[in-house]
Amino acid sequence: TDGEVVEGESWIDESMITGEPLPVAKAAGAPVTGGTVNQTGAFTFRATAVGEATMLSQIIRMVEEAQGGKLPIQTLVDRVTLWFVPAVMALSVLTFAAWLAFGPSPALTFALVNAVAVLIIACPCAMGLATPTSIMVGTGRGAELGVLFRKGEALQALQDVMIVALDKTGTLTEGHPRLTDLTLAPGFDRATVLAAVAAVEARSEHPIARALVEAAAVEGLAVPEVTDFASVTGFGVTAKAGGATVAVGADRYMAKLGLDTAPFAADAERMASEARSPLYAAIDGKLAAILAVADPVKETTPQAIRALHGLGLKVAMVTGDNARTAEAIARNLGIDEVVAEVLPEGKVAAVRRLKEMGRLAFVGDGINDAPALAEADVGLAVGTGTDIAIEAADVVLMSGRLTGVSDAIALSKATMRNIRQNLFWAFAYNTALIPLAAGVLWPAYGLLLSPAFAAGAMAMSSVFVLGNALRLRRFAPRQEHPA
């Protein structure tokens, strides 16, 4: 049963779903997933999904559908098998005729035994098992790593990807702005300045304002009463907070108030290079602090970019941000291509342009990413994103970690390599042993392969294919790649 906490607090082990080992804090309003384990504390929750509607049931269903899918390479195997079986039948008849015409006495016995041995040794069981066994083991291992292949075809398509295009907000970044920098002028303390700034910004409707208010709440600061609030369009806001006059805004607002921002020039330059827009706070006519609010990059993002480069892939970023901010983020992360200032409806066109450079995988999480996920050669949805994005994707990254992209591509390459190994040995095995079963060694060495040994050899080929496929259970993606 999935649900939503209505009362109480606890820590939940969600490693079954996300693969993350650390427990997650849960309080009123937080979602809980059936099958995860309560660590400490107690809580009451309201059921939101039961039976087949639960997340666990959906995961099981997606894995089963992927495991039952037929990859394009299987179609090739089916075509080969379509001709292979009649060819073996013809070889068996030819073997029978040759032994009946030229074999020693009793010729009919030798003809029947060798013809049957050819039929048994050439049984295409191993060929039939080569692809589906690898698919089942590969997709199962992917589920253990938090990578769900919603469509089996994606398992093959990912191996040929040359470019990975990433949405920025919610994919490369955490998806919500927060206070990232607060540098104080001499004579001011953090608690006083942040509480005053949060008090004033609480009256503002700007998205940045909410991040400042949340920062004060996280630090448990008491926010003073605010009076005489005023918003100066294009500059900033001002008000009286706890008896002090507080002004918050851009550098041009400080200049308008007659305050010199030069003491913070180095900090402002650093923030700009990191794609963070600096704000200034003044209290009672004195410059108090420089601060910045930004949507921070996820902790796993730099590692994920290095992993993709380690696989020999180009990485592109598609974002609606202005070009300067996008270029700064791309420069810091080592992203190869940047498509900035893209409206939601323009993401499909951006994906089409990038596809001209090679086979493309697109990674996104929002409703506005769904068309681009469908347009890409392979769409990968971050599992912490919206349902519509997940439905439009071919692969779902349950943990929300961007390293899941490189895990999925590496697993695709390993699975397809495993399938090719299986097919090679299945065909090579049959090709090598058919002449032996037909009696090619009889004239020189007087040796024949009995049907019983032929049956054993045929079974061993299937065992070999199964054993090779099971090696995928030990697949472990590389955790780090050189920068």
Instruction: State the catalytic residues.
Output: 167
Q: How far apart are CA 311 and CA 328, in angstroms?
A: 24
Q: How far apart are CA 162 and CA 363, in angstroms?
A: 14
Name residue 245's beta-bridge partners.
240
38 Cα distance to chain centroid:
26
Neighbouring residues of 436: CB distance < 8 A, sequence distance ≥ 6 = 121, 449
Is residue 342 within 8 A of residue 372, CB to CB? The reply is: no
Q: How far apart are CA 266 and CA 277, in angstroms?
A: 13
Neighbouring residues of 351: CB distance < 8 A, sequence distance ≥ 6 = 165, 318, 360, 362, 372, 375, 376
Task: Kindly state the tokens that stand for 128.
Answer: 């039939």
Q: How far apart are CA 412 and CA 458, in angstroms?
A: 29
Pairing between strand 37-49 and 277-283?
unpaired
Is residue 13 within 8 A of residue 36, CB to CB? The reply is: yes
